[in-house]
Amino acid sequence: MNQKSEFSVFSETGQLKQVMLHRPGREIDRLTIDNMDELLFDDLLWLEQAQREHDNFADILRANGTEVLYFNRTLAEAIARPEVREELINDVFRFECLDRRISDEFRPVLMDMAAQELADHLIEGWTKEEVNGVCDRSLSLVASVSNGSSFVIHPIPNLYFQRDPAITVADGIILGQMTFEARRIEPLYWKYILRFHPRFSGMRILFGDAPDEVWPQKAEGGDVLVLSDKAAAIGVSQRTAPTTVQRIGRNLAAKTSIKRVFAFEIPRGRYCMHLDTVFTMVDKDAFCIYPPLLESLKVWQLDYSDEGILMKLEQKKDWRSAVAETLEVEKLRLIVMNGRDEAETAREQWHDGCNTLAVAPGKVVTYNRNKNASKLLRDNGVEVLELEGPELGRGRGGPRCMSMPLNRGPVR
């Protein structure tokens, strides 16, 4: 029997006690004009400034009582034992489809590294030129050809968006199954943390570890909102498939206290890639929402038995009342993030005006550039902690995207 985990999340707004972040590293400098589309970026980032902004983000969280864990350090601690490092290296080689010749040459190079150096290198990637400097490429076609990728191990610059590859729900974790190839390796590293890091030894994997819970069962954490100990909301989006929503609902019901899932169908587009780019929870009864979503949103309520059997699937025309009833509040407070005109509304949404991170009920972190969004939140009784993040925001993600809550206090 597994020991009880020290981490649990039963709400979106309870006091944020622990969080996982990834401070942007050299992988950001791997972005170029030629590869940024493939790596899911719209622009190139200035690394040093992004790091300064990210450090300020971590400081804001610490000042509000949150313990900050860093992904690269946690991964390094998880692979401290040589046999674990070798297992991970072999998994990475399989993922990258490296031939036996380059694998046999390259494995000792990586095994000679300290755990922290290896973790950092796996995140920032290895170019063919770099690998050829330490390995004999003469019999490796992978390392020799010039058409195609310039990487042998690809960088993962999206990793600073820690929300997506793993999501703490109740007392377990959902492993993301990433839509695009550029991010598909991220849950593998999370799996090693869950298997081998002592602080995570009691955590159950609620989804993403079974043979039929992998690609194309798409799911990303930006689409998952933990409403309460009884219910979750999951976006049906560009990056999370409806079949996966139903499967996650089944697993949650069978393994946790969450028996109800609200499936939010949102437009499949870059501007609203995840549910949390257009809809987030800011208090126990309050949500901010991007106004055009009100015109197109469809919501289904899925109710499960304790065994995970789907008992009811119903589209909710009055979804606000259904969510309010589930949360046991009189009604939802919807903060509609309207700007002074359509241009300002769209601009602030593009700059993640809705992508707020609650550090406590009615207390959120958001980018300071979204002046109107912050005013609307304050006018509705929400305390706003402003983060200066023009460089971080170029990656198309806000404070919620950049954070993976590990533990939250109860909401009273």
pLDDT digits (tens, 9 = 90+) for 385-404: 999 989 999 988 999 999 99
Of residues 275 and 352, the one with the higher pLDDT is 275
Write the CB contacts of 145 (distance below 8 Å, at least 6 apart in sequence).
Answer: none
Q: Would you place residue 1 in the very low, low, confident or very high pLDDT band (cuts 50, 70, 90)?
A: very low
Does 147 share its domain with 275? no
Does 110 share its domain with 201? no
Distance CA 101, CA 27 (A): 26
Does 219 share its domain with 168? yes
- Give me the domain span that covers residue 139: 97-153
Rounded mean pLDDT, 358-374: 94
The predicted pLDDT at position 150 comes to 87
Is 87 within the bounds of a domain?
Answer: no
Is 6 within the bounds of a domain?
Answer: no
The proportion of the chain whose per-residue pLDDT surpasses 70, expressed as a percent, equals 97
Among 127, 153, 179, give the residue marking a domain's end.
153
Judged against a pLDDT cut of 80, whether residue 257 lies above it is answered with yes
CATH number at residue 335: 3.75.10.10
Does 249 share its domain with 125? no
Does 239 share its domain with 296? yes
Distance CA 325, CA 321 (A): 6
Does 141 share its domain with 265? no
- Output the pTM of the full model: 0.94
Token pair belonging to 226 = 């933990």
Which residue type sits at 359? Answer: V
Which residue type sits at 151? Answer: F
Rounded mean pLDDT, 24-36: 95
Does 138 share its domain with 252? no
Does 58 share its domain with 105? no
The predicted pLDDT at position 317 comes to 95
Tell me the DSSP string of 44-78. Answer: ---HHHHHHHHHHHHHHHHHTT-EEEEHHHHHHHH
Does 312 share its domain with 399? yes
Which residue type sits at 115? Answer: A
Counting every residue, how long is the chain?
412
Is 78 within the bounds of a domain?
Answer: no
Active-site residue list: 401
Is 261 within the bounds of a domain?
Answer: yes
Among 86, 120, 153, give the residue marking a domain's end.
153
3-state secondary structure at position 138? coil
Is 116 within the bounds of a domain?
Answer: yes
Give Cα 363 to chain centroid, integer Å. Answer: 21
Is 307 within the bounds of a domain?
Answer: yes
Q: What is the end-to-end Cα distance of the chain in Å, rounded? A: 31
Is 79 within the bounds of a domain?
Answer: no
The closest alpha carbon to 405, from 56, 23, 5, 16, belongs to 16
Among 132, 153, 174, give the residue marking a domain's end.
153
Does 389 share its domain with 289? yes
Does 361 share its domain with 277? yes
Does 263 share its domain with 140? no
Judged against a pLDDT cut of 80, whether residue 2 lies above it is answered with no
Is 91 within the bounds of a domain?
Answer: no
The predicted pLDDT at position 20 comes to 98
The structural domain count of the chain equals 2
The predicted pLDDT at position 268 comes to 81
Give the E-state strand segments of 176-297 in sequence order. Answer: 204-207, 224-226, 231-236, 260-265, 279-283, 286-289
